[in-house]
């Protein structure tokens, strides 16, 4: 049985998703939250196998929430709950260290299947698609076209994020404190324009 936790700022969305999944005997709903702060307080106590995280929350975003959760709970698997299927949603999931993303309009059976796959340790992210998406970001960030002009540290961080490393693992590789990694990730999201997109709601 896969234990799952939902994080979305709309109670109606959470209720709808729980209702969709309620009849599946292989899934067990263990909790819900409407904000980053509430999720950080409740998820460790609930001990889910999978956390389904909205990409936009009133006090943060699903990317940073996922990264914080994975640093605190390395065995947890996260999925990003996106408004639309897009390259951006795929990038959000990759940068978060998540195992994939689902759209809010997903059918119950598809969502149940996705949660079970992630709970079993499989990723919903196609590696070829992920490499292509990260390649686009690297090309934008290499400075040759002047669009992003990422620093060497930014590019290293992007590579480590793309490899699925947690904040703690990145800190060890970069020889910096874990709190610094959180700051670097936040700044990288701003440089890439992702933080702005997530804050638009």
DSSP per position, 53-91: EESEETTEEHHHHHHHHHHH-TT-EEEEEESS-SHHHHH
**Do residue 48 and residue 132 come from a single domain?**
no
* Residue 146 reports pLDDT greater than 50: no
pLDDT at residue number 96:
77
Domain boundary among 123, 147, 165: 123
* Residue 198 reports pLDDT greater than 60: no
Alpha helices in the chain (DSSP H): 11-21, 36-46, 62-72, 87-96, 108-119, 127-141, 152-162, 167-174, 178-191, 194-199
Angle at which helices 11-21 and 108-119 pack, to 10 degrees?
80
Is the pTM of the predicted complex or chain greater than 0.85? no
**Residue 162 structural domain:** 128-199
**Do residue 109 and residue 31 come from a single domain?**
yes
* Residue 37 reports pLDDT greater than 80: yes
**Do residue 140 and residue 75 come from a single domain?**
no
Domain boundary among 98, 123, 148: 123
**Do residue 85 and residue 9 come from a single domain?**
yes
CB-based contact 111:102 (threshold 8 Å): yes
* Residue 8 reports pLDDT greater than 90: yes
Average pLDDT over residues 115-128: 87
């Amino acid at each position: 049985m896969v234990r799952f936790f939902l994080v979305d700022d709309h109670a109606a969305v959470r209720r709808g998703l729980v209702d969709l999944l309620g009849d599946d005997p292989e899934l067990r709903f263990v909790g819900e939250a409407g904000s980053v702060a509430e999720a950080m307080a409740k998820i460790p106590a609930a001990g889910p196998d999978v956390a389904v995280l909205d990409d936009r929350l009133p006090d943060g975003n699903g990317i940073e929430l996922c990264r914080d959760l994975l640093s605190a709970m390395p065995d947890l698997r996260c999925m990003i709950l996106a408004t639309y299927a897009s390259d951006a949603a795929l990038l959000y999931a990759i940068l978060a260290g998540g195992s994939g993303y689902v759209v809010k309009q997903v059918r119950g059976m598809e969502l149940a299947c996705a949660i079970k796959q992630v709970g079993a340790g499989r990723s919903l992210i196609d590696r070829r698609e992920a490499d292509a998406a990260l390649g686009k970001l690297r090309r934008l960030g290499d400075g040759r076209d002047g669009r992003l002009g990422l620093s060497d540290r930014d590019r290293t961080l992007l590579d480590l994020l793309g490899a699925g490393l947690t904040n703690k693992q990145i800190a060890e590789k970069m020889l910096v404190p874990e709190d610094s990694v959180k700051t670097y990730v936040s700044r990288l999201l701003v440089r890439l324009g992702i933080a702005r997109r997530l804050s638009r709601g």
